[in-house]
Amino acid sequence: MEGTRLKLGDLQKIAEHEVDFERAFKHRINVCCSSGCVPFGAFDVLKAFQEAVKEFGVEKECKVARTGCVGTCAVGPAVVIEPGDYLYQNVTPDKVRQIVRDHIVLGLPVKDMLYQNEAFFKKQHRLVLRNAGKIDPTRIQDYIAAGGYAAIVKCLATMTPQGVIYEVLGSGLRGRGGAGFPTGQKWSLVARSHSSPKYIVANLDEGDPGVFANRTLAEADPHAILEGMLIAAYAVGAEKGYIYIRAEYPLAIETLQKAIAQARAMSLLGENVLETSFKFDVELRFGAGAFVAGEETAILASVEGRRAMPRPRPPYPANSGLWGKPTLIQNVETLANIPLIVLNGGAWFSKIGTGKCTGTKCFSLTGKVNNPGIIEVPMGITLHEVVFDVGGGVADNRKFKAVLVGGPSGGCLPETLLELPIDYDSLTRVGAIMGSGGIVVIDDKSCMVDTAKFFTDFCIDESCGKCTPCRAGLAKIKEIFEGITRGEGNLEDLATLEKASIYIRDASLCGLGQTAPNPVITTLRYFKDEYVRHIVDKVCPADRCFKNVKEVNKQ
């Protein structure tokens, strides 16, 4: 099958063939082999299952498959047995024989190895991660059988580029990279641009510490990204696409490389896509450890092989992007939504989430929470639901203190704001951002002054150094923090901190600098008493600061 050049009508046949093939199996054993589970022996577990089904003579009725992430990254390796979606946690090779014997042969699921946590999945709504944990990301046939590439077929066979853009506009989809610019509008801008060639850049430079949702997507369902790029290319008239991916993600890189090769071999990428006159090809470009490269204009510089320094807009990339040509830059999560919008229509999509903020959002839920992992929830869900329902509450029975939304340049929100619905505008209003979707739960063992200092440190390290406010201003903020946590602060420092933070937010050149002071601004706004206690009483409520001072005093 692989390697034959497909025509438009052939995909349906592959899908039917695959479904028939799947039907021959009574059970499907899905072993999560993504970066969260692999370090803990997922590939050994996969091998153990392959051997065990042979040993028990059930290999004809069991399909053992490697899949992507189901989201429960804290209890890996995770294994899902279908039918019934039985999720086994912390599976090791020595447990595999028992699972196969009891569950498959005897029909008795091993209760005490199961992930007993309905709540984690109950409020989730998986659109982007629709195939994650269900299909083998290394087999294009799996994706096709799940309805994949049907959307690009629909576009090529029945829709005009304008028609595609019309659906995307109607869906209300906004960019998932952080800023939330309406996707359809961006596409219209690029489509209207007359210069050629045009380019597409898929942003997979997930540099936020504590965020790994894009990686999960790439490892679990790479073809969804490729199909999204294909549709975007068809709509705006682009011929070449780049996926800019962090070099720190070797498994995701390997998975995408395989997917691109398979898609090329089946003529889903290349000169004549599905034997039509539409042409589009994709190349990977590797990041090299620079958070700022996720910024729209910095990513262009990096793809061109230069220092990832942002440049001012206008000109906007839609008119003048890569090598001065019109360029559409989208986060991979945005792109993975596109096939669904094309298949089901923009109106269908616009009913999910809230009126102004449609669809779902993937989050990396981490920190002091009982169920950390990758989640996908409808827009408009409250922070409380995410932390306490999906997340299962604060870990180790500690007390909730704050939740950081939006990564290192997000905002630290207190308990009183937990009923806030998650959408771009509500978050911005309280000083946080959607960012690329990091939610970190902070308990009473953490100090908010120390936390704000940590994020400032991060932004200092990642600042490109081009503009004065971000380069020099953040460094000054850090010095003030150092004084406060050494016990040398005074109350005037708080006014200086606030003044400098607002200046950096307003005067910086790019999104990094403009959002970098968010943790400082929000902790000053919501946790000012902690600053005051540090300064006046020289007490850190969480006992994290003044440590070096104490050690010096002891000597």
Of residues 337 and 463, the one with the C-beta less far from other proteins: 463
Find the binder of other proteins among 4, 12, 272, 468 (CB under 8 A): 468
Find the binder of other proteins among 18, 142, 389, 462 (CB under 8 A): 462
* Helix/strand/coil for 66: strand
Q: How many residues bind other proteins (CB under 8 A)?
A: 78
Dihedral of CA atoms 245, 247, 253, 254 in degrees, nearest 10, equals 170
Find the binder of other proteins among 15, 32, 36, 521 (CB under 8 A): 36
CA distance 38 to 252: 12
Q: How far is the CB of 165 from other proteins (least distance, A)?
A: 26
Of residues 285 and 534, the one with the C-beta less far from other proteins: 285
Dihedral of CA atoms 377, 383, 384, 388 in degrees, nearest 10, equals 60
- Interface positions, 188-207, toward other proteins (CB under 8 A): 206-207
Of residues 311 and 533, the one with the C-beta less far from other proteins: 311
- Interface positions, 59-78, toward other proteins (CB under 8 A): 73-74, 76
Tell me which stretch binds other proteins (CB under 8 A): 161-169, 178-186, 381-389, 469-477. 469-477
Tell me which stretch binds other proteins (CB under 8 A): 13-21, 140-148, 330-338, 473-481. 473-481
Tokens at 98, concatenated: 């028992």
Evaluate whether 451 touches 368 at the Cβ level (below 8 Å): no
Asked if 261 interacts with other proteins (CB under 8 A), we say: no
CA distance 77 to 99: 14
Asked if 442 interacts with other proteins (CB under 8 A), we say: yes
* Helix/strand/coil for 405: strand
Q: How far is the CB of 53 from other proteins (least distance, A)?
A: 28
Tell me which stretch binds other proteins (CB under 8 A): 188-196, 222-230, 385-393, 437-445. 437-445
Tell me which stretch binds other proteins (CB under 8 A): 21-29, 89-97, 230-238, 283-291. 283-291
Q: How far is the CB of 458 from other proteins (least distance, A)?
A: 7
The DSSP secondary structure of 514-551, one letter per residue, reads HHTTHHHHHHHHH-HHHHHIIIII---TTS-SSHHHHH
Q: How far is the CB of 423 from other proteins (least distance, A)?
A: 20
Find the binder of other proteins among 306, 351, 399, 550 (CB under 8 A): 306
Of residues 286 and 348, the one with the C-beta less far from other proteins: 286
Asked if 446 interacts with other proteins (CB under 8 A), we say: yes
Asked if 249 interacts with other proteins (CB under 8 A), we say: yes
Asked if 404 interacts with other proteins (CB under 8 A), we say: yes
Tell me which stretch binds other proteins (CB under 8 A): 51-59, 175-183, 261-269, 307-315. 307-315
- Interface positions, 362-401, toward other proteins (CB under 8 A): 364, 366-368, 372-373
- Any residues with CB less than 8 A from the CB of 461 and at least 6 apart, and which? none
CA distance 138 to 381: 33
How many distinct helices (H) and strands (E) make up the chain? 24, 13
The 37-56 site mask, x for binding other proteins (CB under 8 A), equals --xx----------------
The angle subtended at Cα 492 by Cα 489 and Cα 497, nearest 5°, is: 85
* Helix/strand/coil for 392: coil
Of the candidates 334, 331, 336, 358, the residue with the CA atom closest to the CA atom of residue 346: 358
The pairs formed by 79-83 with CB atoms below 8 angstroms and a separation of 24 or more are 79/29, 79/30, 79/31, 79/32, 79/45, 79/49, 80/29, 80/30, 80/32, 80/133, 81/27, 81/28, 81/29, 81/30, 81/109, 82/27, 82/28, 82/30, 83/27, 83/28
CA distance 182 to 173: 6
Asked if 491 interacts with other proteins (CB under 8 A), we say: no
For 346-374, b where at least 16 C-beta lie within 10 A, e where not — what string? beebbebbbeebbbbbbbbbbbbbbbbbb
Asked if 287 interacts with other proteins (CB under 8 A), we say: yes
Give whole-number Cα distances, 517 to 68, 173, 540, in Å. 36, 28, 22
Asked if 101 interacts with other proteins (CB under 8 A), we say: no
Asked if 311 interacts with other proteins (CB under 8 A), we say: yes
Asked if 121 interacts with other proteins (CB under 8 A), we say: no
Find the binder of other proteins among 407, 435, 489, 517 (CB under 8 A): 407
Tell me which stretch binds other proteins (CB under 8 A): 173-181, 229-237, 256-264, 458-466. 458-466
Of residues 125 and 368, the one with the C-beta less far from other proteins: 368
Find the binder of other proteins among 115, 199, 278, 291 (CB under 8 A): 291
Find the binder of other proteins among 473, 511, 517, 541 (CB under 8 A): 473
Evaluate whether 252 touches 215 at the Cβ level (below 8 Å): yes
Asked if 137 interacts with other proteins (CB under 8 A), we say: no
Given strand 281-286, what is the order of strands in its sheet?
A: 281-286, 240-245, 199-204, 327-331
Asked if 208 interacts with other proteins (CB under 8 A), we say: yes
- Interface positions, 505-544, toward other proteins (CB under 8 A): 506-509
* Helix/strand/coil for 9: coil
Q: How far is the CB of 353 from other proteins (least distance, A)?
A: 25
